[in-house]
Amino acid sequence: MVQPVPVDCEFSQPGYFVWCGAPVRGADGKYHLFYSRWPVKNPNGFAPGWAIHSEIAYAVADQPLGPYKFVNVALPARGTNAATGKKFWDADVTHNPNIVLRGGKYLLYYVGNQGDGNYPTHRNHQRIGVAIADKPEGPWRRFDQPIVDVSADAGAFDSLCVANPAAAVRPDGGLIVIYKAVPIVPGKVMGGNVRYGVAVADKPEGPYVKQPGRVFEAEGEDAKKHWMLAEDPYIWFSRKYGNRYYAVARDVVGKFTGASGGLALFESVDGFHWNAATHPKVLGARFNWADGTTSHQNVERPALLLDGEDPVALFGATDGYQKNGRIARNVHIPLKPAGNL
C-alpha cells in the first residue's frame, strides 16, 4: 500500500519541533491536521522538551497530501482554574492529538499535564482528555477533569501516568480508547515498564470504564526477552474490511516487520484481543522519497487519513532530535487502494 513520498508531502514550522499528526477529512471537503509543537529554542531541547512545552496546533489543506497551512493553536495550555485557584490538569502542556469523527462531532483526544518545569513532574502528571467541537476549526469544549486518569491502586499497571490515547468509534456507537500507561515502582521516580490498557464509553464525555487486562504485550517466549513489542497504535473499526478493528503500531523490536522501528498492522474482532495481520508489514525502518532518496529516520506516532473506510494516506512524525540537520516534522505517505487488509 505504501508509496514513495513526494518531497513536498511533509509539514514543518520554522522555529518549532513538529510531532504527532492527526488528520481528518472535514464536512467542508478540506483536510484538517492536528499536531504537537514546541519551540526549538527551549532549555530542554526536543526531549524532554515535549513534556514541558508542547501545545496542540491546527493546520488545514485543500488536498489530502497538503500543503497544510498553520491556522492556530487548537488546545493551548489552560493555566489556573479561576474557580478553584488551582492548576487545571492540562495547565501547562497538551500533546499527542488523536482525532475521531462521530455523529457530526469532532472528538480530539489528547494528553495534558501540569508541573513545575522539571521533566519527571510533567511526565508523571500526564493524563488523557477529550475536547469536542462541531467543526474541526473549533471552538473546542474542554473538561475540568481527564477522561482517563491514573488508577488509585498503587499496584496497578496505570498508577503513575497515562498517555498516548488511540480512540475509535465502536460498532454500537460507543467509544474505545487504547492508552499507554506506567506503574508506580517504589524507589523509581519514572516508574516501571510501559504497558497498554483499554477503556470504553457510551458517549464522548464518558464515563470511560477501564477494562480488565492489558493489550499489545509480549507473551510466552517473547515476554522473557521483551517487555513491549508494539507502541503507539492508531486504531479504527472497519465494516468494509472484515467487520473488525485494525491498528497500525510501531514494531519496537522488529518481530512483525523484520525492522525495529517499522510499522505493523494488527487486527481484532473486539478491540481487546489483538493479533498481527496476515501480512503485517506496513513500513520498514525507513521510507522512500519520490526523488529516489531514503529517509534519515523511521516514522513514529502513525495515523491514517481515511476517506470513509479507505486509508488514503499514512501520517507520522520523523526526524526527531535534529539528526542530519533536519528538525522534527510530520510526513504524509500516499497509499494505494487497500484491496483487502
pLDDT digits (tens, 9 = 90+) for 71-101: 999 999 999 999 999 999 999 999 999 999 9
**What CATH number does residue 31 fall under?**
2.115.10.20
> Does residue 70 fall inside a structural domain?
yes
Instruction: Give residue-wise pLDDT tens across range 133-151.
Output: 999 999 999 999 999 999 9
Q: DSSP readout, 42-62?
A: STTTTTTHHHHH-EEEEEEES
- Please give the Cα distance from 248 to 235 (Å, whole number): 7
Q: Is residue 32 part of a domain?
A: yes
Give the structural domain span for 215: 10-227+316-325
Tell me what pLDDT residue 218 has.
86
Global pTM reads: 0.97
Domain annotation covers residue 250? no
- Beta strands of the chain (E only): which ranges? 10-11, 16-25, 31-39, 55-61, 69-75, 93-102, 105-113, 127-133, 161-169, 175-182, 195-201, 209-210, 230-238, 244-251, 262-268, 275-283, 300-307, 310-318, 329-334
Residue 237 falls within a domain, yes or no?
Answer: no
User: In this structure, is residue 280 part of a structural domain?
Assistant: no
Model confidence at 340, in pLDDT bands (50, 70, 90)?
Answer: low
Cell of 177: 480508547
pLDDT at 223: 80
260-294 pLDDT tens trace: 999 999 999 999 999 999 999 999 999 999 999 99
Q: How confident is the model at residue 241, as a pLDDT?
A: 95
Place 325 in a pLDDT band, splitting at 50, 70 and 90.
confident
Mean pLDDT over residues 297-322, rounded? Answer: 94
Mean pLDDT estimate for the chain: 96
Residues 245-254: tens digit of each pLDDT: 999 999 999 9
Residue 266 lies in a domain: no
- Domain count for the chain: 1
In a domain, 81, yes or no: yes
User: Does any domain span residue 46?
Assistant: yes
Q: How far apart are the first and last CA of the chain?
A: 10
